[in-house]
Amino acid sequence: MLDNEVARLIKDDDVTNKKGIYPYILTGDERNLSIRAFTDNQKIKAYERQLGICPICKQHFELAQMEADHITPWCEGGPTIDTNCQMLCRDCNRRKSDK
């Protein structure tokens, strides 16, 4: 079972730190894997939770016009999980960067 999980993570293109696989398995800390991108499913959940409204400019957008953003920036240890995902319009996401 452990071997299957290791093999799955090695094949996963989103895992950018292959050396972090064993520390991740031991601790459960996703940051060891350096996974930064949100999945399509996470993006849809955030979009639906926000009712398509950008939390910064308060305007409504279609999903394709929005981008996933870490509420707590990834560079500050913010995990790539559902509760740390928000959808921002492209303009607001560009202005926000990692602030």
The stretch 13-33 carries a mean pLDDT of 81
Split into its structural domains, the chain has a count of 2
Are residue 42 and residue 22 in the same domain, yes or no?
Answer: no
Instruction: Please name every residue paired with 69 in a beta bridge, in sequence order, or none if there are none.
Output: 86
Structural domain boundaries enclosing 16: 1-35
- Taking all residues of the chain, what is their mean pLDDT, rounded to a whole number? 88
Most confident of 14-18, 28-32, 39-43, 59-63: 59-63
pTM over 0.85? The answer is no
State the pLDDT confidence band at 99, using cuts at 50, 70 and 90: low
- CATH number for the domain including 80? 1.10.30.50
Label residue 3 exposed, middle or buried (CB < 10 Å: 0-12, 13-18, 19+): exposed
The total of other beta-carbon atoms located within 10 Å of residue 10's CB is 10
Integer Cα distance of 83 and 93 in angstroms = 17
Q: SS3 of 67, please?
A: strand
pLDDT in tens, 47-74: 999 999 999 999 999 999 999 999 998 7
